Chain A
């Protein structure tokens, strides 16, 4: 009982994604049907708007940064392959994968790649450095503008007469 989505995804493509990301066959077909349901333009790619349509992601303070992680520099579309590559960072590291030592091609879900993903959330201009300013900007995304009001209130005294 393959799902309908699998008929649109070629078997060799699934094999390639499997090799690259480590997801299982059924995980790939199920994520593909999720991908197509998010793809409102029905052109086989997702845009930033497609992601923003997920309410839970839209209210996430770091939502924009997370969405950005799916898009390579200067691009506004991500295909299924790229979508899966980004998701693969969040696959848990299994025991049999830890023992494997292949420095040539590190799996996407390795500890280093997970940390690199988090690092890039702060690295707004993608120059592989986090500046003081960038850190502040991301922090501001997380806490919003409420603090400003707070400071204004706390730092004022009502003068009478």
Chain B
């Protein structure tokens, strides 16, 4: 048993902490939150140079062949500092399915560009029903000429506003089993008929409505096999769920540290408020939420990374971390009092993201239902 990070992972963690602190101060975070694009091209290039964008890809595609655990280490730091932008969408929602199901040509074409920072990807999966089940995929792709024509509305698609390529999950066949007949298409975001509308969200992250209106896609743009795209989506979702947990663990850690250091310096009744037991007990509760989340997340990440069955562990991690991040940021707000209720303060950046992350890939109740199912209930 080894619950620690390897030396390389410690190095990655330290360098990510350092780089993000310098290159992505909260002033920039806020600026990006308010911008249309939501990311800094300059920082994006830097991330490519650092090898972050290709961390998970094999060397032959311009990557460095890192493990999934390595990626979660990096994501924890991105959550800690808050890094606005399409990293998650590009590497996880787009990169992972490409890597697992892409043809040699597709991988050779796209992955080096992703690693090099030249291409931004995302996946258009959820629709107005906002379900992560296969039965919710109503968008259709119908064979026509040498290709397909896609029609449908995708909702809450992250970073579609800046994506070059959208992996569109569409139904190509009506079958008794809703998981049968789903196909993933690589759609050029510039294709005629693709209409992207940025949504103004709580976390000011860049989630979009994407309407596919008679969008023609050539047959060679199918990712993986026709009608058999759902397992690819599922595999990606499992990893994305753990990856989101890692981000949340980092965010919760940051909120905890902010609150604790404030409690040490804020003086009321002639003493630091952190000497009051009410505040101390809040902080103790935060520690168990943060530490608790970290280790169930690591365990799920490790299992996924090793290719072991991880359905239960992933659901446990997301069920717990979703609630924990919310509780930690809320408690931190309570400790900061009024000052935390100002736009100038940084804490609301975390509080907003806690809710967005909770809902992404299924909230606590959704994942507890999976746990119940895994228990045989």
- B is a partner of A: no
Interface residues of B, Cβ cutoff 8 Å to A: none
Could you tell me which A residues sit within 8 Å of B by CB distance?
A: none
